[in-house]
Amino acid sequence: MTAASTTAKTRARSGRPSRKGGAPPAHGARRRREFTTRRGLLIAAFMAPAAVFVAVFTYYPVIAGSQMAFRNWKLTDLTDTSWVGLKNFRDVFTDPAWGTVLANTAVWVVGSIVPQLVIGFALALWLRRRFRFRGVYQALVFFPWAISGFLIGILFRWLFNSEFGVVNDLLQKAGLIDEPIAWLADPHKAMVAVLIANIWYGVTFFTIMILAALQSIPDELYEAAALDGAGKARTLFQITIPYIRTTLALTVLLRIIWIFNFPDLIFGMTGGGPNNETHIVTTWMIKITQQGDYGRASALGLLVVAGLLLFATFFLLATREKREVRP
Amino acid sequence: MIGKETTAGRTVKFAFLGLWLLFTVFPLYWITVTSLKAPGDIFAFPIAYWPEHFSLENYSELFGTADFGTYLTNSLVVATVAGAVATAISMLSAYVLARFEFRTKSALLMAALVTQMIPAFIALGPLYLLMTDLRLVDNRLGLILVYIAVCIPFCTVMLRGFFENIPDALEEAAMIDGLSRFGALFRVLLPVMRPGIVAAFIFNFVNCWNELFLSVTLMNSDTNKTIPTALNGFISSFNIDWGSMSAAAVLTILPTMLLFAFASRHIVQGLTSGAVKG
């Protein structure tokens, strides 16, 4: 979101002297050039520490890891790390579990994002109007955010425990089930359980983003709509949603990328089990890494990055037109 | 004003808000209650929703046999140092990105965004080898350096939002009054930005406190483990000791929850300022 807005801004203001001073100042005044150089030095000096850290500890390992994707790179035998071309990629696709993993990933992303968006939107609409204790309420529903995905996995693993879990106990007390359910041992129910945990975690983010966007809608629009006799539903679909479309689209995009790249919760809750039925692409990558096959894990990682970049491009293109008609 | 509210509408609204609050708070309540039960009572029927015998045995177990104090100290040191250094470094880069226009700016911002798209696992192998060469494996300093790099991109974007909310005129006035750019930055801008800086630090701290996969990869020996790595050790065995686990979970969540509650308003502001501008 920020990068996009900045690009536009940079373009709009282009033509100002840059750090490298490519174009000499029009009047050639010495003072001006000196100023430009000093400015360039300041920019370079202030950017340097951040750039060095990210280059050394993030980009270097990622790039080094990328070339592993084309090598036979197994921790079990490091004597032969020769180039193998696309073998690792083929291995990813021909793995018998690959179809299951892809299908699970789709369920995981869609099954998380849709309820998170709907509930998050509803909460934001209801929190828009001030009421007593609204601040306290917001602080309380905000707290899942302070917990790591891994620990949330553990919390829900305990809640969904088949013998001593509180979820089964509550459902039995309510008369909804007769026998305790083995949530995390049953393929379909395990997916439902991890989705519930992720919905619990992710709704807040949508609420925060949407609430902030809602507060930017001018009251006059609603007054005008009320004068025209527009009902609640019409106001929602013809004013509220169109007005915050940009925020909605970008929030959804960011969340999809993030949920896709979020193995932590599943890792803590089911470890991908039972029988691979909750493995998503990124937990699958953990599994391959733990087996020591860094070559194949890197190939999978590259596929993830490529897939996400492609997806982000399509998503931005598909929503661009709508964003331009923003009021 | 946002339309009129009917009584029925209000009832539905508060019923839903109440249910959601219950759903949000319950898991935390449950893990706390579990941790305060006597170890034997955790696996007793019927399941008790309030501890019959309050007991701190799970906690004393944690610090006695599991050496949780060491993990706690490690996490505290690593998260504090990495969080603070990352905030300081990001402050400089965020300032430049907020106040200057230059050719590589959009590329730098893109590079920051891309780091958020890369699955951590692609870098773990090479990172381990790099840290071996630097003799920083199983070393708290090594983990701190890596965490600083992890925190910088998002922290920079967040702080840039705060800088952009402060009008240029403020530091221009200070510079006209004879302060240098550095003087203006440190004496005028930073004091105004203090809440944002605190929020950014807390955000970094919590991220480092919670980080699992890098820590598991880089820290082998028991004396160097951070809390998430230790928790991961608890579940590696087939039977999870839910007594110790629940106590450890409460002790892990509590500090971050308090910090978030303390700074939630500014963290929210930092997260949303970019989005609302679209």
What would the pLDDT profile of B33-87 be if each residue is shown by its tens digit? 999 998 888 888 788 888 888 889 899 988 887 789 999 999 999 999 999 999 9
Whether pLDDT at B264 is above 60? yes
Model pLDDT, residue B4: 63
Give yes or no for B119 touching A (CB within 8 A).
Answer: yes
What average pLDDT score do residues B181-208 get?
A: 87
Partners of residue A38 in chain B, C-beta under 8 Å: none
pLDDT digits (tens, 9 = 90+) for B232-250: 988 865 578 888 899 999 9
Model pLDDT, residue B273: 63
pLDDT digits (tens, 9 = 90+) for B2-25: 556 788 888 888 999 999 999 999
Instruction: Name all domains of chain A by residue range, CATH numbers in brackets.
Output: 22-68 (no CATH), 87-324 (1.10.3720.10)
Q: Of A110-114, A251-255, B237-241, which range is least confident?
A: B237-241
Q: Which of B61, B68, B72 is nearest to B242 (CA)?
A: B61
Determine which of A143, A159, A323 to mutate to test the interface with B (most B C-beta atoms within 10 Å).
A143
Residue A219 token pair: 């009251």
Model pLDDT, residue A3: 42
| Max avg pLDDT among A80-84, A236-240, B244-248 | B244-248
pLDDT digits (tens, 9 = 90+) for B193-206: 888 899 899 989 99
Cα separation, A158 vs B241, whole angstroms: 11
Model pLDDT, residue A231: 82
Q: Which of A282, A260, A278, A281 is nearest to A270 (CA)?
A: A278
* Residue labelled with tokens 């992303």: A109
- Residue percentage of chain A with pLDDT more than 70: 87
Give yes or no for A47 touching B (CB within 8 A).
Answer: yes
**Interface contact flag, A308 B117, Cβ < 8 Å:** yes
Greater confidence, B181 or A99?
A99
Cα separation, B278 vs A254, whole angstroms: 13
B54 beta partners: B37
Greater confidence, A105 or B110?
A105
Model pLDDT, residue B103: 87
Cα separation, B78 vs B205, whole angstroms: 9
Give yes or no for A309 touching B (CB within 8 A).
Answer: yes
Model pLDDT, residue A147: 92
C-alpha dist (Å) from residue A84 to A291, A299, B121, B129 = 19, 12, 21, 21
Whether pLDDT at A327 is above 50? no
**Interface contact flag, B149 A18, Cβ < 8 Å:** no
Give yes or no for A173 touching B (CB within 8 A).
Answer: no
- What is the maximum alpha-carbon separation in chain A? 87
Confidence of residue A220 (pLDDT cuts 50, 70, 90): confident
Model pLDDT, residue B238: 58
Q: How far is A190 from chain B (nearest CA, A)?
A: 18
**Interface contact flag, A5 B274, Cβ < 8 Å:** yes
Query: Which of B103, B125, B210 shows the shortest C-beta gap to A65?
Result: B125
Residue of chain B whose alpha carbon sits nearest to that of A246: B278
Model pLDDT, residue A133: 86
- Average pLDDT of chain A to the nearest whole number: 84
Q: In chain A, helix, strand, coil percent, each to 5?
A: 70, 0, 25
* Residue labelled with tokens 């951590």: B120
Determine which of A130, A158, A286 to mutate to test the interface with B (most B C-beta atoms within 10 Å).
A158
Cα separation, B50 vs B71, whole angstroms: 29
Instruction: Name all domains of chain B by residue range, CATH numbers in brackets.
Output: 58-277 (1.10.3720.10)
Confidence of residue A268 (pLDDT cuts 50, 70, 90): very high
Model pLDDT, residue A5: 43
Q: What is the ipTM of this complex?
A: 0.89
Whether pLDDT at B278 is above 80? no
Greater confidence, A277 or B46?
A277
Cα separation, B252 vs A147, whole angstroms: 8
Whether pLDDT at A7 is above 70? no
pLDDT digits (tens, 9 = 90+) for B125-148: 889 889 999 999 999 999 999 999
Model pLDDT, residue A53: 96
Cα separation, A38 vs A19, whole angstroms: 9
Greater confidence, A34 or A10?
A34
What average pLDDT score do residues B97-107 get?
A: 89
Which B positions 149-208 lie with beta carbon below 8 A of chain A? 149-150, 152-153, 156-157, 160-161, 181, 206
Cα separation, A84 vs A101, whole angstroms: 25
Give yes or no for a contact between B163 and B94, defined as CB atoms under 8 angstroms apart. yes
Give yes or no for A117 touching B (CB within 8 A).
Answer: no
C-alpha dist (Å) from residue B42 to A115, A193, B46, B247 = 33, 22, 10, 12
Q: How far is B214 from chain A (nearest CA, A)?
A: 11
Q: How far is A188 from chain B (nearest CA, A)?
A: 22
A293 beta partners: A74
- Side-chain-facing half-sphere of B199: CA atoms under 13 Å: 22
What string of H, E and C letters represents the secondary structure of B240-258? CCHHHHHHHHHHHHHHHHH
Model pLDDT, residue A70: 93
- Average pLDDT of chain B to the nearest whole number: 87
- Residue percentage of chain A with pLDDT more than 90: 39
Partners of residue B104 in chain A, C-beta under 8 Å: 19
* Residue labelled with tokens 């910090």: B259
